[in-house]
Amino acid sequence: MAVFALDRESSSFAQINVTPLVDVMLVLLIIFMLAAPMLTHKLILNFSASECGGATCPKPTDPVDLSIKQTGELYWNGVALNRAELAQNLAVLGQQSDPPQLTLRPEARTRYELVAGVLAAAKNANLQRIGIESVR
């Protein structure tokens, strides 16, 4: 009889718990779904020479450098200015037919609200090309 008792105990199934495996796979799926749009870059190249005939092409304008200090001071291409002058300068840029790129250069540890305020002012002035250079 003891032999039969051993057979009954050894006949039980050893099952793998798949719940942790499913959890890990769902987390990986979510990570890949979030990371996939960041990996795609759009690059538009315009190689048509028909728009301008060689020397008649207008020279591309230099970007405007706007430095933002930790204290909130603003420098437009190295010249200090206040918020009212900034709004005027941005409005003038926004009214141009082909405005130059506005490059923001916030100083390290500049408060986010200062940079966000300048970005909002640039957007209100209808500027489309805005770049931000980080300081290391």
- Is residue 54 a contact partner of residue 86, using CB atoms and an 8 Å limit? no
CA 26, CA 20: separation in Å to the nearest integer?
A: 10
CA 98, CA 121: separation in Å to the nearest integer?
A: 18
- Supply the CATH number for residue 96's domain: 3.30.420.270
Say how many domains are in the chain: 1
The answer to whether residue 46 is domain-embedded is: no
The answer to whether residue 95 is domain-embedded is: yes
Backbone angles phi, psi at 58, to 5 degrees: -70, 145
73-127 per-position pLDDT tens digit: 999 999 999 999 999 999 999 898 888 888 899 998 899 999 999 999 999 998 8
- Is residue 116 a contact partner of residue 82, using CB atoms and an 8 Å limit? no
29-75 per-position pLDDT tens digit: 999 888 887 766 555 545 454 555 555 555 567 788 999 999 999 99
Parent domain of 91: 61-132
Residue 30: the pLDDT is 94
What's the burial of 76, exposed, middle or buried (CB within 10 Å: 0-12/13-18/19+)?
middle
